[in-house]
Structure 1
Amino acid sequence: MSIRGKAYIMGAFEHPLRDAPDKTTPQLHAECAAGALADAGLSKDDVDGYFCAGDAPGFGGLSMIDYMGLTNVRHLDSTETGGSSYIVHVGHAAEAIAAGKCSVALITLAGRPRQARGGGGRGGFGEPAPEAGFENIYGGSTHNTYGMCAMRHMYEYGTTSEQLAWIKVAASHHAQWNEHAFLKDVVTVEEVVNSRMIADPLHLLDCCVVTDGGGALIVTSPEVAKSLKRPKVRVLGAGEAPKGPRGGLDLDLTYSGAVWSGPRAFEEAGVRPADIKYASIYDSFTITVLMQIEDLGFCEKGHGGKFVADGNLISGVGRLPFNTDGGGLCNNHPTNRGGITKVIEAVRQLRGEAHPKVQVANCDLAIAQGTGGSLGTRHGSATVILEREA
């Protein structure tokens, strides 16, 4: 069953806070939900489907449904794929709506990583992840596993630190117009490559910000969408895929799961990469962006460095405007899960509600792409293609 045209994103909200010492995580979830519902012109009593991931506290969806007073929920999804979870949830919400399981789906994310740091490498309910005993002894971290990907890409294709730096430069050019962005200063290639080394070859400014906050989305049936007085953003296609080392059988660090999730989304949407006007690309690190741009088909594998150089990602200048809110590199990366913010900015662009300085002209087709986990070990990839309906 195809989801093409069977669901619409009618509400989107990004929490304005980047540091929230006086709020709880459930409060942030609830405030994001209220913001998205208000944006759509709906109330919590209209919600009959709820979607969240591992950032939801307590018993996840069960706790949040009760906390937010959602009394009419008949469909619940708490799929967890790390940072790509909320792009997955857009596709899952569209599937549930197309199947008649719900008609108004609420998706929320929230977290407070700046207030309380948590450890990684563990699965649900405190049990160690199955690979922990085989991999943790080598001291892998988020930073150095992404560094391995960057180093291998440089070895295979001649990619340079200066080319990666252009991704941060583009993000900073966009973030300067976002009043809520965590980092608003425009940076240069020289500043990026001269910032201190974090995990060779990734420098400090190659890394995303760490913020509190959250966001929410409302996905509805076509019938509900027609009743609302908001611009309609139609879900055209979605794809998802896992990628892992398979016990050492697949150790190619130069590509992501987008090589599978992207083509699936494009096929369902009936469009090509060349048709895309705006791209929201998950940007935990600069190398994350470069690899996904290649894997989605915006350029040939190994040509990503040349593609992003000289400002090709800057709105109004480049061939593929990306992350016009500043992205995770400069704006917001709540609870280390940036997928939902990618969909939110894509919705803004399609509605014509992005900042005038970064609004893409005639933006009618956008992609939101995310990875969650680690490019250097295992991760989930999710792709959603969205269209403005005239």
Structure 2
Amino acid sequence: MPSLHNPVPPEQPRRRVAVVGVAHSDCGRVDDATAFQLHAQAARRALADSGLPRSVIDGVASAGLGLLAPVEVCEYLGLRPRWTDSTSVGGSTWEVMAAHAADAIAAGHAEAVLLVYGSTARADLKARRRTAGLALGAHGPQQFEAPYGHTLISKYAMAARRHMHAYGTTLEQLAGVAVQARANAAANPEAMYRAPLTVDEVLAGPPVASPFTKLHCCIRSDGGCAVLLAAEDYVPDTRHAPVWILGAGEHLSHSLMSQWEDFTVSPAAVSGALAYRRAGVGPADIELAQLYDAFSYMPLVALEDLGFCAKGEGGPFVDAEHGRLLREGALPVNTDGGGLSACHPGMRGLFLITEAVRQLRGDYASTAPARQVPRRDRTPGPPGLALVSGVGGWFCSSATLVLGR
């Protein structure tokens, strides 16, 4: 016990934490690589992007692969970390892991943490279709809703229908999310779909789960991604200007749809408020946002819950006619094309971080100006603040990051 003779040692100053390296593996349809190989390819590229030696990595976070995801991934990569995280809460996993890793680095429990993911979700499509029906209902609480035929898509569709009923949101407005994502993808050579898309084309697509047609739903791709976080001490040795993690928040909502109090409010309402408060900023300060978009309703409700528009005003906000979500729009969203057009290899949350970092670093300014988001005041240089928000399950979890230069 602490005493006058044995006092509690003073807390050490918390270090700032930066994203120092980001990269994708090959993405799209990758038939000649395993998921482990995509992990390795993305990790090598992120390390090269950082300019730091491999020896600085003493923490690894991974999920979604194998029986013991981080253990097996680390063995494959030849790493022996002293800090690890295998949190698995769906699509928001990587924002949660980034927050946990930043806390560990700030407290001195790690120096540099690699977040790494890889999936062959498209190449393995037939195998996944055979097992997809089993995942949502065989055991646990889901057994009480599974007999009613709830699929993951239908859960999101139910939430969208509720928003339409409560606030008059229209199919055309939902389609506007997909149209603007495709317009952003047009300048991204890595995007799977780049051809222009119209609201009428979205509405005329094959129905999947009312109100969603095929183009309201994310694509399925293969791909890997890696992000390297490091303590501020390492920043002088990195290749790029640092992008700092300024604030983070996370929140768990529900598992059963019957336990979700309001289908029109996502857990981002809590995770976003926490991230803003910890970063000391508000929605008006954010210059671009990367939002999870497995379905068109997700960015719409996230924009409301994250404070970019009032509750119920998401529909008019995302209307394609206004173009607010475009790179040159009032609030650029999913500037790579998102999961609706660029890539979606499963738990896409890590890809949100890489795109935000590249935009804040100004990576595209000289090599691909059409991809670069300008500063809000149109002065020279890249934007200064970005928000990243992931969603897991069927609005079951959320985690939000505020990143800045």
**TM-score normalised by structure 2 residue count:** 0.90
| Worse-matched range after superposition: 5-14 or 77-86 | 5-14
Contact map agreement 1:122 1:129 (CA 8 A) in 2: no
4+ residue runs over 6 A deviation: 1-5
Matches within 5 A, 1:101-116: 101-116=109-124
Matches within 5 A, 1:16-55: 16-53=26-63, 55=64
- The answer to whether the aligner puts 1:169 opposite 2:182 as a matched pair is no
- Name the SS for the 2:225 alignment partner: strand
Root-mean-square deviation over aligned CA pairs: 2.0
- The answer to whether the aligner puts 1:331 opposite 2:351 as a matched pair is no
Distance in 2 separating the partners of 1:4 and 1:270: 17
Structure 2 residue corresponding to 1:372, chosen from 356, 369, 392: 392
Structure 2 residue corresponding to 1:198, chosen from 201, 205, 208: 208
- Name the SS for the 1:164 alignment partner: helix
Deviation at 1:135, TM superposition (A): 1.4
User: Taking structure 1 as reference, are residues 2 and 345 closer, same or farther at Cα in structure 2, changes over 3 Å only?
Assistant: farther
Contact map agreement 2:52 2:237 (CA 8 A) in 1: no
Matches within 5 A, 1:249-328: 249-309=259-319, 310-316=322-328, 318-328=329-339
| Worse-matched range after superposition: 282-291 or 55-64 | 55-64
- The answer to whether the aligner puts 1:215 opposite 2:228 as a matched pair is no
Structure 1 residue corresponding to 2:374, chosen from 344, 352, 361: 361
- Name the SS for the 1:13 alignment partner: strand
Deviation at 1:249, TM superposition (A): 4.6
Deviation at 1:132, TM superposition (A): 2.4
User: Taking structure 1 as reference, are residues 129 and 384 closer, same or farther at Cα in structure 2, changes over 3 Å only?
Assistant: farther
Q: What per-residue deviation string (whole Å, max 9, x for no partner) do you get for residues 108-144 of structure 1? A: 0110111224334778xx9954212211111111211
Kindly name which structure, 1 or 2, has the bigger radius of gyration based on alpha carbons: 2
Structure 2 residue corresponding to 1:58, chosen from 54, 62, 67: 67
**TM-score normalised by structure 1 residue count:** 0.93
Q: Structure 2, unaligned stretches of length 5 or more?
A: 1-10, 376-382
What letter corresponds to residue 300 of structure 2 in structure 1? Answer: L
Distance in 1 separating the partners of 2:74 and 2:55: 12
Contact map agreement 1:121 1:132 (CA 8 A) in 2: no
Q: Structure 1, unaligned stretches of length 5 or more?
A: none
Contact map agreement 2:145 2:256 (CA 8 A) in 1: no
User: Taking structure 1 as reference, are residues 226 and 21 closer, same or farther at Cα in structure 2, changes over 3 Å only?
Assistant: same
Deviation at 1:56, TM superposition (A): 2.4
Contact map agreement 1:14 1:214 (CA 8 A) in 2: yes
Distance in 2 separating the partners of 1:277 and 1:206: 25
Distance in 1 separating the partners of 2:309 and 2:244: 26
Sequence identity percentage:
39
Distance in 1 separating the partners of 2:257 and 2:295: 25
- Name the SS for the 1:311 alignment partner: coil
Q: What residue in structure 1 maps to residue 193 of structure 2?
A: 183
User: Taking structure 1 as reference, are residues 76 and 129 closer, same or farther at Cα in structure 2, changes over 3 Å only?
Assistant: farther
Aligned length: 379
| Worse-matched range after superposition: 135-144 or 344-353 | 135-144
Deviation at 1:302, TM superposition (A): 0.5
